[in-house]
Amino acid sequence: MSECLGLLLNRDLADQSRGLPRDTAISCGPASYDPSDWAWEFLRRNPDYGADWRSSVPRRLPHVTLKDGTRLLRLRRRFPRAEGWGLYAFADPSVAARQAPVFWHMAALKQVVRLRAAPATHREGLTPLTLSRFKADRTAAIGVDNVPFVLLKGPGVHVAVEIHDVAVLTNEFAPIFEIDGFADLNAQTELLKRLHRLTEQAPSATNRQAFAIDERLHHALIALDESLSGKTYRQIAITIFGEKKVAEEWQGPSQFLKDRTRRLVAKGTELMKGGYRDLLS
């Protein structure tokens, strides 16, 4: 895995040094990527998404960065074509994940923490919260319904939060969490644990097992890039697994490496064409 990572990063830098757009290089997600980052990496390679982005007006909506570092997009109207891709507004497909804000729509996220923000003095002895207490990258969107939606992104993990009070984006508040009956209890409990962990010391992207890079997604993304570049299955396999392994196993009786490479290309194509939504859990 480390050899693959180094090889691809070198090729990516080489492509950029020659003046090629970043999306023509083979992308290699850093260890800090969470599932929503991987979703964006597959979506931004979709040619239909690229066509919609190029024809959108405006292509880019201005966002502001709050004093705590939260990037905020406030919408005065809806953008149905962007919503069709699971976004509040279009993001530039030439820009990789974590390098520019991608505002995923609340409806596209499968699991969302819902809370109402009470005044910080709501309950005696309760430590108030601010968004800055979460040791994570934060993007926030306020739609036409005036309800803030915040995506907290830590190494390998994200938590989506719907907050019913605009003022909490900059002020202290006491959170009152909402649960839709017993059927929602287990899912919300796990989300709240994840949310609480983000108030503690952020885990290292390199010294953690729980948030290790999803190797299959990584390989599927490489396979997709190589396939879109017109490479053969054998060439794709060499990029992912190395020339030595391919030379030893490509013509073997089991056909395992060939089948694995085909599956990775198919998986990458599936994720690009809409399967990325399944990553937004």
Give the span between the Cα atoms of 177 and 195, in whole angstroms. 12
pLDDT digits (tens, 9 = 90+) for 62-98: 899 999 999 999 999 999 999 999 999 999 999 999 8
pLDDT digits (tens, 9 = 90+) for 167-222: 778 888 888 899 888 888 988 999 999 999 998 865 554 444 434 458 889 999 99
Report the chain's mean pLDDT, rounded to a whole number.
84
Residue pair 73/142 in contact by the 8 Å Cβ criterion:
yes
Question: What does each C-alpha distance from 128 to 135, 176, 179 come to in angstroms?
Answer: 16, 11, 20
Q: pLDDT tier at 10 (50, 70, 90 boundaries)? A: very low
Rounded mean pLDDT of 261-272? 98
Rounded mean pLDDT of 124-146? 88
3-state secondary structure of 147: coil
- The pTM of this model reads 0.84
Would the pLDDT of 153 be above 70?
yes
Backbone angles phi, psi at 137, to 5 degrees: -70, 145
Q: Buried (b) or exposed (e) across 113-138, using 16+ Cβ within 10 A?
A: bbbebbebeeeeeeebbebeebebbb
pLDDT digits (tens, 9 = 90+) for 19-57: 334 343 344 456 678 999 999 999 999 999 999 999 998
- Name all contacts of 227-230 with Cβ < 8 Å and 24+ positions apart: 227/265, 227/268, 227/269, 228/45
Tokens representing residue 229 in the block? 């570049």
**Helix (H) or strand (E) run with residue 139 in it:** strand 137-142
Q: Determine the pLDDT at residue 209.
A: 42
Q: Determine the pLDDT at residue 213.
A: 56
Residue pair 109/160 in contact by the 8 Å Cβ criterion:
yes
Strands 71-74 and 157-163: unpaired
